[in-house]
Amino acid sequence: MLRKWIPIRYTAGVFYGILLFYVGLLDQSFSGILTYYVPLVAIGMIMDSTLVFTFVKTFRKQTAMIGAGIGAVILILFIVFWVLQPLFLADQKYEMADGEEVTVEDLNPVNEENIPVVPRSYAEYRSDILMGQLQNQAFYNLGQTRIQKMDGSLYWVTPIEYDGFFRWVRSDAAPGYIIVSAENPREEPQLIEMDMTYVPSGYFHEDVNRHVRSEFPDVIMYDTHFEVDQEGNPHYIVSYGSYTEFRRVSDVEGVIIVDPVTGEMEQHTIEETPEWVNRIFPPHIAEERNEWFGIYKSGIFNRFFGREGLTQPTYWGSDDGVTGVVDQDLNLSWFTDHTRLVGEGEETSRSMIAFTMFDARTGELRNFRDASGSLNGRVAMDLAERTFRRDDYVAGTPSLYNVYGQYTWVVPLMDRNNVLREIMLVNASDENVYGYGDTKREAFGAYQLELATRTDEDIVPGELTELEEVTATVERVYQWDREEGVTVRFLLEGYDRIFTVSSGSYPRAVFMEPGDEVLIEFMDGGEEVQPVESIEILRNPS
C-alpha cells in the first residue's frame, strides 16, 4: 500500500511545487512556504490516516484517529488564524499608511501646460491605431498603458506584447513601444521600434517576471510596469519588498530594473533608485493604504461599531482606484478623494471629506483635510456629462489640481469611441463655476474667466492677468448653439485671435453682426481662443 501511495504523493508534491514556484512565481521565503504548505501537510495527514485505516486491516483505529485528529487540528488552527488575524492588525495597518495632515498651501500650483488632460482610454485608442503600422500586427497586443515623465513633459507609454503562446513562438522579439502625449491631444503619437526579448507576455525564460525570480528567489514582487529613461531606452521596473504581519502588510523596499533587450538587471533600494524612474510604489499599494488610513483611524472596534470620523476612497469605475497626478516638478503621486464611510446599500456621499496624495516614489501619504465639503470626483464627472448630455459624451477619470489657487477638478470628456472631445474644469467649491473647451488653452481660459467673475475667493496673485479693455470693429461672427445656451465667437479687426462669449451671460451678444463696433473686457492670457468677461455693442456704422 505504502509502496504505491508514496510515489504518487511525491509526484503530486513535485507538481505542486512547480505550480507554486515556476508557474505562480511564489517567493521562496519562510512565510510563503509556510502559508502554502501547512494546509497541504494537514490534509495529507488526514488522508493518510483515513486511507491506511480503510485499506490496511492491521492498522489500529486509535492510531488512525490520532493521525487524522492532529491533521484536523492543524488545519482548523490555520483557518482560524487566517480568518481572525486581520482583526488584530488595525493599528499596524494605520501606522503603515502613515498619513500626514496638510492644507492647500502644501499643494503647489501646477503649470497649465503640464496638467495631463488626455485620458488613458484615449491614449490606448490612438496606440491601437498606430500599432497597425507594424508588420504581422496580428501577432501582438498592447500592454499596460502608464503615464510617465519624459523630456520635461508627460506621456502615456504603452509596450507592445505578444498575443499568446504561438505568436511568441513565431516571433523573435516584441517590436517596441508607443508614446502618446498626456498633455496635448493633438500631438501625434510615436511608434518606437526596438526588439525586446524579456517581456511579461513572454514564455519560459523570456517571461520578464520569471527572469527576475530566477535571480531573486526570495523577494516579494508587487508589480511590473514599463518605463522609458531619458535616452529613450526601454526598461521593466519590478517593485519588490517583503511582508510583515505574516503576509498581511506589504512593505515596498525598492525596484529591480530589467533591460528587456539584454536581460540585464539592477537592484535598487528606494533611496538609490535612479531619478528617471517615475514610480516605485504601484497603484494597488496606494489603494490599500488609502483604505487603511480611512477606516482604521481609531482601531478595529470603531471600524465596525462606532464608525466615528471614518472615510472611504471614492470609487471611480476605472481600472485603478487611484489616478496619477503630478506636481510642478512633474513628480508622480497617486490621487484619490475620500467620502464618508457608508454601509452596504447606503447611497454614496456626494461631498468630499478630504483627498490624499500618495507619493509614487517615497510612499508618503498626504491628507488634505481642508477640502472637506467640496465636490467629490463622482459629482464632477456627473456635472460634465450633464453639460454635454446632448452630445452623449462620457467623462473620464477626473483629477484634482490647485489651479489659480483653487481646488479644481480636471475632467476629460470622450465620445462613445473613446475619442477625446472636450476638456472641462470644475471648481471643487462651487459646481456653478466651470469652464470647458476642445483644447486645453480654451478650457483654462474659460475657467479663468468664470473664476474671476463668479467666485468671491481670493485669487493667487500673478496667476490671473490684469483686465484689458478694447474697442474694435467686428470682422466675422459665428454662433454655436449648445444645450446650455448660444456661444458667440467673433473676430476683431487688428487682433489675430478668436474671442468668445456666452449668451447666458450677455444675451445681446447674439445680435452682433460684422461691422459692429464693440467694447470688450478680457484678461489676456495669450490664448488663441480668448474668453470675454464683458461686451457692449456700441454702434453699427452702416
CATH number at residue 503: 2.40.50.140
Q: 125 and 264 share a domain? A: yes
Domain end residue (candidates: 373, 400, 433): 373
Q: 449 and 488 share a domain? A: no
Q: Are 337 and 354 in contact (CB under 8 A)?
A: yes
DSSP letters spanning 134-151: STTGGGEEE---EEEEET
Q: 502 and 424 share a domain? A: no
What average pLDDT does range 376-382 have in this prediction? Answer: 87
What average pLDDT does range 20-48 have in this prediction? Answer: 89
Domain end residue (candidates: 421, 454, 487): 454
- pLDDT single digits (tens) 99-143: 888 877 777 667 777 888 898 889 999 999 998 888 888 899 999
- pLDDT single digits (tens) 491-529: 999 998 888 887 777 888 889 999 999 999 887 766 677
Query: How far is 143 from 226, CA to CA, in rounded Å?
Result: 9
Q: What is the pTM of this model?
A: 0.79
User: Is 169 a residue whose pLDDT tops 60?
Assistant: yes
Does residue 111 sit within a domain? no
Does residue 462 sit within a domain? no
Q: Are 151 and 165 in contact (CB under 8 A)?
A: no
Does residue 278 sit within a domain? no
463: pLDDT confidence band, cut at 50, 70 and 90?
very low
Q: 350 and 385 share a domain? A: no
For residues 310 and 474, the model is more confident at 474
Q: 294 and 369 share a domain? A: yes
Give the C-alpha distances (Å, rounded to integers) separating 116 from 190, 197, 224, 328, 502: 18, 31, 23, 12, 27
Query: How far is 196 from 177, CA to CA, in rounded Å?
Result: 9
Q: 263 and 181 share a domain? A: yes
Q: What is the pLDDT of residue 452?
A: 65
Domain end residue (candidates: 237, 269, 301): 269
Q: 239 and 123 share a domain? A: yes
- pLDDT single digits (tens) 247-289: 889 999 999 999 999 999 999 999 999 999 999 999 999 999 9
Query: How far is 390 from 84, CA to CA, in rounded Å?
Result: 52
- How does strand 351-352 pair with strand 311-313? unpaired
Query: How far is 265 from 258, CA to CA, in rounded Å?
Result: 5
For residues 11 and 108, the model is more confident at 11
Output the CA torsion sign for 438, 440, 443, 446.
negative
Q: 433 and 307 share a domain? A: no
User: Is 337 a residue whose pLDDT tops 90?
Assistant: no
- pLDDT single digits (tens) 403-424: 877 889 999 999 988 888 999 9
Q: 319 and 441 share a domain? A: no
User: Is 318 a residue whose pLDDT tops 80?
Assistant: no
Does residue 80 sit within a domain? yes
User: Is 425 a residue whose pLDDT tops 90?
Assistant: yes
Q: What is the pLDDT of residue 238?
A: 97
* Domain span including residue 348: 95-104+283-373
Give the C-alpha distances (Å, rounded to integers) separating 43 from 8, 13, 36, 199: 15, 13, 12, 38
Does residue 114 sit within a domain? no
- pLDDT single digits (tens) 194-248: 999 999 999 999 999 999 999 999 999 999 999 999 888 999 999 999 998 888 8
Residue 91: partners with Cβ closer than 8 Å, 6 or more residues away: 296, 299
Output the CA torsion sign for 239, 243, 248, 249.
negative
Q: 123 and 265 share a domain? A: yes
Does residue 170 sit within a domain? yes
User: Is 360 a residue whose pLDDT tops 80?
Assistant: yes
Does residue 173 sit within a domain? yes
Q: 27 and 137 share a domain? A: no
Tally the domains of the chain: 5
- pLDDT single digits (tens) 440-456: 878 887 887 777 666 55
Q: What is the pLDDT of residue 464?
A: 46
Q: 444 and 482 share a domain? A: no
Stretch (H or E) spanning 301: helix 299-301
Does residue 460 sit within a domain? no
Query: How far is 150 from 388, CA to CA, in rounded Å?
Result: 33
